[in-house]
Amino acid sequence: MIQKQAIPTVDFTSAAFKADPYPYYANLRTYAPVHPVEKFFRGQRAWLVSRYEDAVEVLKADEIFVKNPKNAMTPEQYKKAPKMPFKSLSSNLLSVDVPDHTRLKALVHKAFSPRTVEQMRLQTDSLTMQLLDQMDAKHKRGESIDLIADYALPLPLTIIGRMLGVPDADKDKFHRWTQNFVAIGGSGSFGAILRMPGIVRFANYLRQIVRERTRNPKDDLISSLVAAREQDDQLTEDEVVAMVFLLLSAGHETTVNLIGSGLLALLQHRDQWDRLHANPEMIKSAVEELLRFVTPAEMATERYAATTTTIAGVEIPRGDLVFVLIASANRDEHRFDNPEVVDIGRQNNKHISFGQGIHYCVGAPLSRLEGQIAIPALIERFPNLTLSVPEDKLRWRSNVVLRGLEALPVKL
């Protein structure tokens, strides 16, 4: 029986909630699998979907749960709804529906083929070795090591920057920009985006690179995007800028958490760390288990009900926002045996960490490659690594959509 009173009010952006959202999610799955929260996103009510089966249903129903509010709302609702500023950055794959989505995704698939990703293997290997050497040198100089800043972040940040063709020297700058945008984008604070320092500069920075590649194409993804055509339909300049922005931010703000939170999970379950050290060939199932267990993108991005729809017996009115809690679905006891256990050999692990349906993650092969290289390489080099602060001193970033650590201080 559904007991709404069992669900407390929480601050979803707070570091305290982020530290352990799982008991709250378990409560939702049991008592309120489709749960309304007032002022959840840009001041609007949203329905949180927490069970695996319902999560998959919502993600796959792309004609009912749509991304563009205009395709969902009545004209009166749309007039009143807050509009997204910075259209040139935010009108991307994650904010459009069929047929625009089909066209954009086909273009990005071409530019982001499995062959391109596989070509990054050697570079990822050598960058990993370089970062491990730098950590070793820091350790020898008596400096403290933070696995996020020294390892989990620079790897995906450098790789996505190189794939796109953004100068290596600018990567710290674009990380600062995307971090601000990602943090604000999911926090429900609509006006904050407008006040975000540097957002206009960032859009202009990307536009300049896009224009430069239009004039002088290189062997990089931005040049391929500029050149890509599907049925004679070239991307507009705004669409290229939005795509580059999405790939840059999604390309590292998530994988940093797979590597960072994944390593923390192994440190907290030392038997699994040791098991992977002794059996490095288990890395593929280990990465899948870490993707499930830590779920770097904790919830899917927003969707709007295009028609009044019933999910798990709860009616969601037309025009309302819906968020799928991926992290909750990945711990659903009706889908996974012992979901609270980390088992790097887990079979039948159909987690939904990369989403489902038409918006399934473009970067899944790249992040798997990075995780499968970075995690065993670190364990191999520093098998006795431990946390250098008590677990309850670890700070989680306050962000709604993503879940990741601010820092992960360790001793080698």
The answer to whether residues 405 and 148 touch, using CB atoms and an 8 Å cutoff, is yes
190, with CB counted inside 10 A (0-12, 13-18, 19+), is: middle
| Residue among 50, 158, 187, 301 that touches ligand HEM (CB under 6 A) | 301
> Counting contacts by CB under 6 A, is residue 145 touching ligand HEM?
no
Q: Which of 15, 26, 61, 94 binds ligand HEM (CB under 6 A)?
A: 94
- If one asks whether residue 353 binds ligand HEM (CB under 6 A), the answer comes out as yes
Residue 249 or 309 having the CB closest to ligand HEM: 249
The 309-348 contact track toward ligand HEM, x by CB under 6 A, reads -----------------x----------------------
Residues 230 and 122: their CA atoms lie apart, in Å, by: 30
Report residue 328: phi and psi, to 5°.
-75, -45
Is cis: bond before 197, omega within 30 of 0? Answer: no
- Part in contact with ligand HEM (CB under 6 A); list of ranges 82-90, 129-137, 363-371, 381-389: 363-371
Q: Is 35 helix (H, G, I), strand (E, B) or coil?
A: strand
Residue bearing tokens 């998530």: 254
Buried/exposed 389-411: b ≥16 CB within 10 Å, e otherwise: eeeeebebbbbbbbbbbebbbbe
Query: Is 300 a binder of ligand HEM (CB under 6 A)?
Result: yes
Q: Does 161 bind ligand HEM (CB under 6 A)?
A: no
Report the residue number, 7 or 283, with the smaller CB distance to ligand HEM.
283
Query: Taking the complex as a whole, how short is the minimal distance between the CB of residue 5 and ligand HEM, in angstroms?
Result: 30
Structure tokens at 138: 């820091």
Least Å from the CB of residue 300 to ligand HEM: 3
Q: Which is nearer to ligand HEM, 65 or 382 (CB)?
A: 65
Q: Which stretch binds ligand HEM (CB under 6 A): 175-183, 232-240, 307-315, 350-358?
A: 350-358
Least distance (Å) between residue 117 CB and ligand HEM:
9
Label residue 316 exposed, middle or buried (CB < 10 Å: 0-12, 13-18, 19+).
buried
CA distance 322 to 35: 10
> In the sheet where 303-305 sits, what is the strand order?
34-41, 44-49, 321-324, 303-305, 65-66
Least gap, CB of 347 to ligand HEM (angstroms): 21
Task: Give the per-residue SS3 of 170-232.
Answer: HHHHHHHHHHHHHHHHCCCCHHHHHHCCCHHHHHHHHHHHHHHHHHCCCCCHHHHHHHCEECC
Binding mask 182-221 for ligand HEM (x = CB under 6 A): ----------------------------------------
Q: Which residue's CB comes closest to ligand HEM?
A: 363
Could you tell me the smallest distance in angstroms from the CB atom of residue 296 to ligand HEM? 4
x/- mask, ligand HEM, residues 219-248, rule CB under 6 A, reads ---------------------------xx-
Q: How far apart are the first and last CA of the chain?
A: 50
Closest among 297, 212, 202 to 245, alpha carbons compared: 202
List CB contacts of 215: < 8 A, sequence separation 6 or more.
none
In the complex, minimum distance from the CB of residue 105 to ligand HEM, in angstroms, rounded to a whole number: 5
Q: In this chain, which of 346, 359, 397, 403 binds ligand HEM, going by CB under 6 A?
A: 359
Residue whose CB is less far from ligand HEM, 296 or 339:
296
Positions in 246-275 near ligand HEM (CB under 6 A): 246-247, 250-251, 254-255, 258
β-pair partners for 410: 145, 387
Which one, 89 or 258, has the nearer CB to ligand HEM?
258
Asked whether the beta carbons of 304 and 319 are under 8 A apart, the reply is yes
Measured CA to CA, the distance from residue 73 to residue 107 in angstroms comes to 28
Per CB under 6 A, the segment of 22-30, 194-202, 266-274, 351-359 that binds ligand HEM is 351-359
Applying CB under 6 A, which part among 25-33, 188-196, 208-216, 355-363 lies near ligand HEM? 355-363
- Look at the block and give the residue holding tokens 């870490």: 290
Residues that bind ligand HEM (CB under 6 A): 59, 93-94, 105, 160, 246-247, 250-251, 254-255, 258, 296-297, 300-301, 326, 353-355, 359, 361-363, 366-367
